[in-house]
């Protein structure tokens, strides 16, 4: 009996996880604004507010990305609000000439690449924004 309950619980948690990952995506121009939450302007000029986890928020606060075409994966929490999937699942990517690019930050002194903006963890030099072909990224999944 106990075993059955355990199985049922497993099924329930699987359903819950599936619900969290409803596969919606949104494309448009990223707007990084002072004093306002980051948003994406869709092709039909609708503004959708973006939110995500801590690392995603760091990227969304990077002024260098203002005006870039982006694609976010996640789900709508309201008609004008979109919650981006966890950072490690690459919920947020750039789109350059119709091609998906990974947003990376590179330190040419240490040859270290990271995925959030800010000073290099090693030499503290400000990292350079680089959009990268996903094929160049380590395939970890």
Where do contacts with Zn ion occur on this chain (CB under 5 A)?
107, 109-110, 120, 122-123, 125
Q: Print burial letters for 85-120: b (CB count within 10 Å at least 16), e (below 16).
A: bebeebbbbbbeeeeebbbbbbbeeeeebebbbeeb
Measured distance CA(87)–CA(64) in Å, rounded: 19
User: 27 or 125: whose CB is closer to Zn ion?
Assistant: 125
Q: How far is the CB of 105 from Zn ion (least distance, A)?
A: 11
Q: How far is the CB of 126 from Zn ion (least distance, A)?
A: 9
User: 60 or 120: whose CB is closer to Zn ion?
Assistant: 120
Q: How far is the CB of 121 from Zn ion (least distance, A)?
A: 7
User: 20 or 109: whose CB is closer to Zn ion?
Assistant: 109
Are residues 127 and 140 in contact, defined by beta-carbon separation less than 8 angstroms? no
Provide the 8-state DSSP code for 119: B
User: 57 or 106: whose CB is closer to Zn ion?
Assistant: 106
Q: How far is the CB of 85 from Zn ion (least distance, A)?
A: 29
Q: How far is the CB of 114 from Zn ion (least distance, A)?
A: 10
User: 9 or 109: whose CB is closer to Zn ion?
Assistant: 109
Measured distance CA(127)–CA(20) in Å, rounded: 33
Measured distance CA(115)–CA(137) in Å, rounded: 11
Measured distance CA(65)–CA(55) in Å, rounded: 15
């Amino acid at each position: 009996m106990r075993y059955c309950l355990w199985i049922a619980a497993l099924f329930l948690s699987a359903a819950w996880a599936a619900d969290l990952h409803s596969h919606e995506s949104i494309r448009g121009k990223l707007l990084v604004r002072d004093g306002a939450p980051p948003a994406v302007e869709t092709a039909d000029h609708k503004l959708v507010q973006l939110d995500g986890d801590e690392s995603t928020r760091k990227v969304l606060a990077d002024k260098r990305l203002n005006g870039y075409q982006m694609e976010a994966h996640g789900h709508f929490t309201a008609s004008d609000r979109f919650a981006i999937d966890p950072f490690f699942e690459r919920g947020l990517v750039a789109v350059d000439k119709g091609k998906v690019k990974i947003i990376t930050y590179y330190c040419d002194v240490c040859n270290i690449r990271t995925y959030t903006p800010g000073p290099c963890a090693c030499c503290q030099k400000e990292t350079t924004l680089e959009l990268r072909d996903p094929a160049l990224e380590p395939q970890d999944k």
